[in-house]
Structure 1
Amino acid sequence: MSQVKSKKRVTDHGEVFTSEREVNAMLDLVKQETERIDSRFLEPACGNGNFLAEVLRRKLAVVEAKYKKSQLEYERYAVIAISSIYGVDILEDNAQECRERLFKIFDDQYTKLYKTECKEECRASVKFLLKRNILWGDALDFTNPVTKKPIVFSEWSAVNGSMIKRRDYMFKFLVEQSHQMALFSDEGNPAAIDEPVKDYPVMHFLKLADYATD
């Protein structure tokens, strides 16, 4: 894959993609975290997803190895893995391409494992998670480049087996020193974050798309 889409994009946005070899070398430095299903990763200039794609591949390899004998368990842990991956990019087409790329990585493995038994509601949950977690925005000023609305991320927490709890937080507040990137510096403990922008009722992991257009 080329590391440059166009000279203009390099000039205007400093856009240069990291090579696969460099991505793997860097992720190998935190190999244990990349293979923990629920460890959170944020790429604040995600491009079309070179880092996040490899993180997802590693997480899903663990999910497949541990849970493929039970489709429901595989689906639940795949959703948890995807819910832990976050990205922001200043170019809208990159964010969209990243979402599509991550979905394909999941869907290819899911289809290979369960073929005609795959559930469309599981695919819908994954698409919704990627819509909420991979955002078009400027990570330097914490807003959308056009609307200037603040970037809002969702925190997803597994509760009571198959249920997921969603809380939305302002990206700007998450990276302020007082929060110390709490949502994204997961150490296996509940995130130490102040009041969310919005708090949602728990929902089954296969029903996340029922959050409508949020």
Structure 2
Amino acid sequence: MSEQVKSRQRVQDHGEVFTNPREVNAMLDMVKQETGRIDSRFLEPACGNGNFIAEVLRRKLAVVAVRYRKSAGEYCRYAFVAVASIYGVDILADNVAECRERLLGIVKDEAHKVLKAAPDQQFIDAISYVLKKNILCGDALTMKDAAGEPITFAEWSVVTGDKVKRRDYLLSELLEGSGTKRGDQMGLFQSGWEYDEEIDGLIPSAVREYPLDNWWEVSRRG
């Protein structure tokens, strides 16, 4: 069976066909500047087992390695930032599990190359937790997760030093506000929205905010 297809039945039931590496790289080269930004956010709404976001992660980690290989602490911190900037949704649970494991494997392998040793468990636990929150099983068309609840993504922002701020947003509201510029006419119920410099647009208020934590302790609050 071709690497682009797991089974004919899955193609019939879900239209599942994976993009081959050559096409993935050609498309990502069109936004090469963004794939080279460690904190630039990427969302793949039908991520499958991660062909696109795996390559995005490799490119980001390559930049982290060049810039921070001389300091294990700095390397791990910015590797966390790279992972935390990548999001994916897929309708099939096995794809989601495979994607998370694939991305974690990339992080482990790249960290081992740079650090000349296996990364410590705190680092792995933090990366695993972020992947659990950022790679979700759901339907990006209905914007509902596998349990029928609205898809909610966590935003991870390094505030100062090793401190990270987590804020949760509804995917539906993020997409509704994308591209809306500061000063544009806003809807009746959008008075709580705020301007985001990174996207030069308006984003909704978070549905939940968490206290600051060290990046390696993000899993403490569930």
Relative to the length of structure 2, the TM-score reads 0.88
8 A Cα contact 1:143 1:150, kept in partner: yes
Asked whether 1:68 is paired with 2:78, we answer no
Q: Structure 2 matches for 1:4-153, cutoff 5 A?
A: 4-116=5-117, 118-145=119-146, 147-153=147-153
Aligned length: 207
Q: Which has the higher contact order (CA 8 A, sep 6+)?
A: 1
8 A Cα contact 2:158 2:164, kept in partner: yes
Letter in 1 for 2:120: K
Partner of 1:162: 162
1:209 Cα offset (Å): 2.1
RMSD: 1.9
Structure 2: 5+ residue runs without aligned partners?
A: 182-195
How far, CA to CA, are the matches of 1:57 and 1:167 in structure 2? 25
Relative to the length of structure 1, the TM-score reads 0.91
More strand, by proportion: 2
Structure 1: 5+ residue runs without aligned partners?
A: none
Between structure 1 and structure 2, the one with the greater Rg is 2
8 A Cα contact 1:162 1:205, kept in partner: yes
1:116 Cα offset (Å): 4.2
How far, CA to CA, are the matches of 1:23 and 1:189 in structure 2? 24
How far, CA to CA, are the matches of 2:109 and 2:180 in structure 1? 32
How far, CA to CA, are the matches of 1:34 and 1:117 in structure 2? 26
Residues 123-180 of structure 1: per-residue CA shift (max 9 Å, x gap): 11100010000000000000124x211111001111112111000011111111x344
Structure 1: which 4+ aligned runs deviate by more than 4 Å? Answer: none
Cα 1:190/1:75, change in 2 over 3 Å: farther
Identity of aligned residues (%): 54
The 3-state SS of whatever aligns with 2:145 is coil
1:190 Cα offset (Å): 8.0
Match of 1:205 among 191, 215, 220: 215
